[in-house]
C-alpha cells in the first residue's frame, strides 16, 4: 500500500503551488485595481466558467483521492474485508492496554485494530520513529472503533493517543509498540 508520507508530499506540492498562485493573483489584482480601467463589468461567461471550474474541482478531488489513496476505499468497505491479523486494544485511565508488549506484523499483512475506550474519548495513532504520522482514528467510548491498515515498510512504530483527553493524556505514548517485519 502506498505510504502516507508520499500522499502528504503530493498534497504539500499541490497546496504550495496553489498558495503561490493565489498570492500572485491577489498581488496582481491589488496593483491593477489602482490603475485606470475600461469601466466595463466582467463578462458573465468568465463568471460562469469560474463557477464550473469550482464545481469540477470540488467533485473531482474526492474521486481522485478515492482512486489513488488505497486506505480510503478500504476504510469504507472494511466490514467486508477479512483481516490477516487482529489486535484488540483497550484504553482506560489514560493508558493503553495492548494484547502483548510488542504487536508484530508481517509486511503487507492486512491488520485490523479494534480499540475500545472504557471512559473518555481518545485517539489512536501510529507514528514512525521520526514522529510523522502513519494514520489515526478517534476512539469514542461506547462504540466500535476499528481500522484496517497494510504496512509496507519493515520498521518500529509508536502508538500515541491523538485526541486530547485532559492534561493527564499528554503521556499516552507507547514507544516502538508495533514492529513490522519482512
Task: Please state, in angstroms and rounded to a whole number, the distance separating the CA atoms of residues 173 and 122.
Answer: 12
Tell me whether residue 19 or residue 181 sits nearer to other proteins (CB atom): 19
Nearest distance from residue 38's CB to other proteins, in Å?
A: 8
Tell me whether residue 103 or residue 163 sits nearer to other proteins (CB atom): 163
Tell me whether residue 105 or residue 122 sits nearer to other proteins (CB atom): 122
Nearest distance from residue 146's CB to other proteins, in Å?
A: 6
Nearest distance from residue 153's CB to other proteins, in Å?
A: 15
Tell me whether residue 41 or residue 182 sits nearer to other proteins (CB atom): 41
Nearest distance from residue 94's CB to other proteins, in Å?
A: 9
Amino acid at each position: 500500500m502506498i505510504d502516507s508520507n508520499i500522499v502528504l508530499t503530493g498534497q504539500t506540492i499541490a497546496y504550495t503551488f496553489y498558495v503561490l498562485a493565489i498570492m500572485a493573483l491577489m498581488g496582481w489584482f491589488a496593483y491593477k485595481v489602482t490603475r485606470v480601467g475600461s469601466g466595463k463589468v466582467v463578462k458573465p461567461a468568465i463568471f460562469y466558467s469560474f463557477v464550473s471550474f469550482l464545481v469540477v474541482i470540488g467533485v473531482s478531488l474526492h474521486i481522485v483521492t478515492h482512486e489513488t489513496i488505497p486506505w480510503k476505499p478500504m476504510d469504507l468497505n472494511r466490514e467486508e474485508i477479512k483481516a490477516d491479523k487482529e489486535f484488540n486494544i483497550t484504553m482506560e485511565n489514560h493508558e493503553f492496554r495492548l494484547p502483548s508488549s510488542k504487536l508484530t506484523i508481517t509486511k503487507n499483512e492486512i491488520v485490523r485494530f479494534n480499540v475500545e475506550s472504557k471512559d473518555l474519548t481518545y485517539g489512536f495513532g501510529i507514528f514512525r520513529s521520526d514522529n510523522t504520522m502513519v494514520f489515526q482514528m478517534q476512539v469514542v467510548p461506547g462504540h466500535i472503533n476499528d481500522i484496517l491498515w497494510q504496512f509496507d515498510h519493515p520498521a518500529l512504530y509508536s502508538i500515541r493517543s491523538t485526541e486530547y483527553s485532559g492534561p493527564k493524556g499528554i503521556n499516552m505514548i507507547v514507544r516502538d509498540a508495533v514492529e513490522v517485519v519482512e
